[in-house]
Amino acid sequence: MYVYLYHIDPLNKIAENSRSRFTSTEFSNHMVLLARKDYIRRAGLVLPQEEQDAVRVLRDPKGKPYFEGCNGIFFSISHSENWWGCLMADEKVGFDLEAIRYRKNFEGIAARFFTEEEHQYVVRNGLSGFFEIWVRKEAYVKYLGTGLSEGLRTFSVATKETLLQEVRIHRQIDSKESYILGLSEISSELKAAYCCKSGNAISQTILLTPDNQREVIQS
């Protein structure tokens, strides 16, 4: 698994028109295809050039993006503030990143949308704890492809004392399905998490630029 990031310098934010850029389907598709090209090389995959050139990014009825034809390459996209990110892997994944920023009444939001144990975790750990819960919940629903319609209180990603390494699904007590949660350490100001079934670790975190330059910032 590889995490790909793109960062807009806040000093250039107006010139780069970052907010509309990040929400642009064309921009996101462009960055995903850059990441895919790099991923193929790092993973040692051998694909016909015409197949690589012809690949398209499509979206299912709920908006979850995927590669046409798939070919065993899966990804999940997220963006927050000045950051765009993508997790790419050889299995189905869900990924979320959030820039830590003050949210008015974040404890009230946790009380309304999180489970009671998760709410207590936020009370104990403050704003940082809120985002730790949020990115894990988002990663899981992105893995499912259901969006927030899944209902954030139907599953848990933490107890009141600690974060869980596996999603606890309340409506499926006897379910044999397991969904592993992983943490992507990016920076003290940026929380990120991912969900998959294998529990595989992220191999590297790579900084992208639109002109296809790459820099490994974590291994």
**Per-residue pLDDT at 146:** 77
**Given the structure tokens 């193929």, which residue do they identify?**
40
C-beta of residue 168 within 8 angstroms of C-beta of residue 195: no
- Which residues, 6 or more positions from 42, have their beta carbon under 8 angstroms from its beta carbon? 2, 203, 204
Q: What would you measure as the largest C-alpha separation in the chain, in angstroms?
A: 54
Cα four-point dihedral sign 99, 182, 155, 197: positive
Tokens of 63: 């908006």
**Per-residue pLDDT at 162:** 95
**Per-residue pLDDT at 172:** 59
**Per-residue pLDDT at 219:** 46
C-alpha triplet 28, 33, 37: angle, nearest 5°: 150
**Per-residue pLDDT at 14:** 46
Number of domains in the chain: 1
Task: In whole angstroms, give the CA distance from residue 127 to residue 105.
Answer: 10
**Per-residue pLDDT at 46:** 82
**Per-residue pLDDT at 45:** 86
Query: Shortest CA distance to 179 belongs to which of 131, 145, 214?
Result: 145
Domain that holds residue 112: 2-218
Query: Shortest CA distance to 193 belongs to which of 97, 89, 65?
Result: 97
Burial class (CB in 10 A: 0-12, 13-18, 19+), 201: exposed
Q: Looking at residue 27, which CATH number applies to its domain?
A: 3.90.470.20
Per-residue pLDDT of the chain (219 residues; tens, 9 = 90+): 999 999 876 655 444 555 455 557 888 888 999 999 999 999 998 877 777 777 888 888 888 888 987 678 999 999 888 889 999 999 999 999 999 888 788 999 999 999 999 999 999 999 999 999 999 999 999 999 876 656 888 899 999 999 999 999 886 555 566 789 988 777 778 899 999 999 999 999 999 876 655 555 554
Check residue 127 and give left, alpha or beta (phi > 0: left; psi -120 to 50: alpha).
Answer: alpha
Task: In whole angstroms, give the CA distance from residue 129 to residue 81.
Answer: 19
